[in-house]
Amino acid sequence: MVNVAFSSDNHFDINKVPLTETIRQQADYLRRHQIQYYLIAGDLFNSFTKSADYVRLLQA
């Protein structure tokens, strides 16, 4: 079985989400549930650069 998680239209910047804590919580969730693929189907931020940075930090 393949475990997949989806995320869409979080807009962390507009919603003023604390990023350090959010990255930690997402990474913990993905590990705990043994998610093999995490598909981001919508905006994490209103900036592609910020979204790409977030994904790089999450992967680390």
Cα end-to-end distance, the chain, whole Å: 25
What pLDDT does 29 receive? 96
Sequence-ordered list of residues with C-beta below 8 angstroms from that of 10, at least 6 positions apart, any chain: 17, 42, 43, 44
Sequence-ordered list of residues with C-beta below 8 angstroms from that of 12, at least 6 positions apart, any chain: 19, 22, 44, 45, 54
Tokens of 32: 């705990």
Note the pLDDT tens digit of each residue in 30-56. Answer: 999 999 999 999 899 999 999 999 999
Q: What is the arithmetic mean of pLDDT over 16-32? A: 94
User: Domains of the chain: which residue ranges?
Assistant: 4-59
Count CA atoms within 13 Å of residue 28 on its CB side. Answer: 6
